[in-house]
Amino acid sequence: MTSVLSRTLSVAPLAAARAGARVAAPRAPIFRPAVSLKFAARALGSPAPNFEAETTHGPIDFHEFIGDSWTILFSHPADFTPVCTTELGAFAQLEEEFEKRNTKLIGLSANGLDSHEKWIQDIEEVATNGGRVGFPIIADPERKIAFLYDMVDHQDLTNIDTKGVAFTIRAVFIIDPNKKIRLTMLYPASTGRNTAEVLRVLDSLQTGDKAGVTTPINWVPGQDVIVPPSVSDEAAAAKFGEFMAVKPYLRFTKYPTELLKE
């Protein structure tokens, strides 16, 4: 066995909405230096707000787009920006890997569709290994969806466009088939994301859901997993066979290949 050392922006229509109900995205606030706001981040396990939007693949209802798949929603400050261009190219190259995991990709940027279409040409020109952008990109020029998902930079309220609207930060939301937010990642505009890490945490979430395990620090598929403390030794032995107890609360077992096939 392998050795292992693991704010409140009020949106009135949403507050009263039933979980899973279609909600119109709110009008994006305009930031001014004298304005003080509190913001509510989207909590893990909470319903992913629904919205309707225009994308490079046509209009969508977000929950209908998700369907019975996992979905990764990732946002960008603007089209034709250097860091964003490298990120979209990297996601495009890995789209087949996400499809193997029953996972859809959808991007969002604070520009219109015409800009998106032209930007995609640049992305595909600079992407290595001939990456093609096969997933839709949402047009969100007024930041309605960005504010719905709290994808704006609250640490720098001067980071605004010519209309005074806050720019979108680099955010990642992993949403499961039940339309629940399972993971969020937030990056400042200066820092690009790591697609290998997005894949890794997706694998961890799916492995945990299917096999009833947790994953330790730096885990990747194929490595040992952790038996949750809530599972007794007897139940662990019956479910996983052999396991190694480092501490009474820390027990490792082999990668649950058979359980993942079920």
Active site residues: 84
User: Virtual CA dihedral for 92, 96, 97, 99, nearest 10 degrees?
Assistant: 110
Task: State how far the alpha carbon of 139 is from the alpha carbons of 16, 25, 59, in Å.
Answer: 26, 13, 10
Name the residue among 154, 139, 130, 132 with its Cα closest to residue 107. 139
Alpha carbons 35 and 40: distance in angstroms, whole number: 16
Contact 94, 72 (CB under 8 A): no
φ and ψ at residue 23, rounded to 5 degrees: -130, 135
**244-247 β-sheet, strand order:** 225-227, 250-253, 244-247
Q: How many CB atoms lie within 10 A of CB 152?
A: 26
Rg (CA), the chain: 20
Alpha carbons 127 and 96: distance in angstroms, whole number: 15
- Provide the pairing of β-strand 137-139 with 103-109: parallel
Alpha carbons 181 and 66: distance in angstroms, whole number: 12
